[in-house]
Structure 1
Amino acid sequence: MLYVIGLGLADERDVSTKGLEIIRRAERVYLESYTAVLLVDQQQLEAYYGRSVILADREMVESQSDEILADAHRIDVAFLVVGDPFSATTHTDLALRCRQHDPPIPTRTLPNASILTAVGATGLSLYNFGQTVSMVFFTDDWKPDSFYDRIAENNTLGLHTLVLLDIKVKEPDLKALARGKIIYEPPRFMSVAQCASQMVEVEETRQQSVCGKEKLAIGVARLGSDGERIVAGTLQELSDADLGPPLHSLVLCGKRMHEMEWEYAREFAIDREGFDRIWKRDYAGKV
């Protein structure tokens, strides 16, 4: 059987007891290592699990899945995913390959905490969230803005938008690749400040009042860990905010922001007086 096991958000201790039992008895254990990362390294996981762990990068999962699924119709294989297996990043393709395998490989999923639910720590109601969007690193000649349209749709309903921030793990250096050499760039993790800055930059071009400088937002970092940070303010303020090490996410507040949500979130505000003023002017009772 292939077990797809969610590890939660922070460290090796967030795995469920049931998941840990499966990891310790499985023939092989893979850790999906390209869509998200835990706040601890591979060695710490292995010490806690009492098992060796095989890192599964994008190439292995997408192009060499036969290696992962080998003999999984008769032995137990554990495939570990940071967060929840089918929340922020789906692994349905791997499950489909199990169904299509000859003979079919039975699968089981063990859920865990996800940023999609942990973001409730901001005080914003999960019922008031719309579509989740992703923000990628901009380059000088590539600044995709499709996220803007999804946020605009959420805005029409007054809903909050969770923005998942780009990470680059084991990315090839394109200049080296052009010379026939495979060299990987150092890992990069987008910060709340960079995300907020890029949103404001796109607003200056699109000008539909979707993510302007005075839109209220909440930045989060390392949710679920002992060192989690939550900071609220305008996008302009968050563009200068330092929330420390990764992983970061951002929530753009919708007009449906209830008084109770405001009262909770304001405790995280960089400038509480300014946060209150903008909420009362642009959000209170607007939807």
Structure 2
Amino acid sequence: MLTFVGLGLYDLGDISVKGLDYVRNADAVYLEAYTSRLMGADVSEMEAFFGKEIRVLAREDVEQDPHEIIERAASGQVAFLTGGDPMISTTHADLRIRAAAAGVATSIIHASSISSAVSGLSGLQNYRFGKSCSVPFPARGWFPTTPIETIAKNLELSLHTLVYLDIQKDRYMRIPEAITILEEMAEKCGIEPPTLYVGIARAGSENPVVRAGTGAKLKETDFGPPLHVLVVPADLHPMEREYLEVFADL
């Protein structure tokens, strides 16, 4: 059995009772650490909390060579840990499909996700979100503009956009940097840059930071340590505007 276990948003207190019970009784525990991370707990703390040795997986371990995971799940109980909710990332869906093709039973233990937490923290109504996008760190000779194009299409439809920020092995994109990159993308594409953003830092922690305003305002805002996420709102409903005024300093 291969069970995908969501860890929630920030620390070890976010896992469900069901998930905790499964991990503590699993024969093997893997942690996917490239799509999201718990910033409130490191691997050693997780191992002490669960009472289990944890193997940390890189992207290639899951997407290119998941044979070990599937083989162990064919003969025992395997917990595959992910930050947030397990099935938000397509790479996890692909692993579940591969396991099913190999005749391995699978299950999912859900947890809180940033895709739902942003609505609670920002007050932006969840049914008004369009397609999400991710802003990657630019590389030499590579500067994709898909994120700003996605935002522009959503704005045309009066839909909000959830913008995920890049996570790499040794660095995390911050909100000011993401806004600068989006503005550069907009200039390159001849698109008007967004006039309003909502920045959220450390969702799920005791003291998340939520701020709304222009790009210039948020680039001067100290959001503190990662993880950060960004939202580009469409035209605001009066209740959304009031919520942002009360809770996000709009």
User: Does TM-score exceed 0.5, indicating one fold?
Assistant: yes
- Mapped contact 1:88–1:114 kept (Cα < 8 A): no
Q: Which runs of 5+ in 1 are unaligned?
A: 170-186, 273-287
**Are 1:224 and 2:211 counterparts?**
no
Larger Rg: 1
**Are 1:267 and 2:246 counterparts?**
yes
Instruction: Give, in whole Å, the separation in 1 of the partners of 2:218 and 2:180.
Output: 8
Distance change (3 Å), C-alpha of 1:7 and 1:269: closer
Give how far 1:167 is off.
0.8
State how many pairs are aligned: 248
After superposition, give the CA deviation of every residue in 1:76-104 in whole Å (9 maximum; x if it has no partner): 11100100011245411111111111xx0
Give how far 1:269 is off.
4.8
Q: Once superposed, what is the RMSD of the aligned Cα atoms?
A: 1.5
* Equivalence map 1:67-216=2 (5 Å): 67-101=68-102, 104-120=103-119, 121-139=121-139, 141-169=141-169, 187-209=170-192, 211-212=193-194, 215-216=195-196
Instruction: Give, in whole Å, the separation in 1 of the partners of 2:223 and 2:69.
Output: 37
After superposition, give the CA deviation of every residue in 1:106-130 in whole Å (9 maximum; x if it has no partner): 0001111111000011111111111
Instruction: Give, in whole Å, the separation in 1 of the partners of 2:142 and 2:4.
Output: 35
Give how far 1:147 is off.
1.2
1:251 to 231, 235, 241: 231
Distance change (3 Å), C-alpha of 1:156 and 1:68: same
Indicate the SS of the match to 2:86. Answer: coil
Amino acid in structure 2 at the alignment position of 1:15: I
In structure 2, the residue matched to 1:54 is 55
In structure 2, the residue matched to 1:181 is none
Indicate the SS of the match to 1:45. Answer: helix
Give the alignment's TM-score, normalised by structure 2: 0.94
Q: Which runs of 5+ in 2 are unaligned?
A: none
Amino acid in structure 2 at the alignment position of 1:202: M
- Mapped contact 2:63–2:91 kept (Cα < 8 A): no
Instruction: Give, in whole Å, the separation in 2 of the partners of 1:57 and 1:71.
Output: 18
Instruction: Give, in whole Å, the separation in 2 of the partners of 1:89 and 1:7.
Output: 17
- Mapped contact 2:198–2:211 kept (Cα < 8 A): yes
Indicate the SS of the match to 1:263. Answer: helix
Amino acid in structure 2 at the alignment position of 1:2: L
Distance change (3 Å), C-alpha of 1:269 and 1:25: closer
Instruction: Give, in whole Å, the separation in 2 of the partners of 1:55 and 1:217.
Output: 34
After superposition, give the CA deviation of every residue in 1:229-259 in whole Å (9 maximum; x if it has no partner): 111111121122221111000001102x100
Indicate the SS of the match to 1:54. Answer: strand
In structure 2, the residue matched to 1:275 is none
Give how far 1:267 is off.
2.8
Indicate the SS of the match to 1:144. Answer: coil
Instruction: Give, in whole Å, the separation in 2 of the partners of 1:89 and 1:248.
Output: 21
Distance change (3 Å), C-alpha of 1:259 and 1:18: same
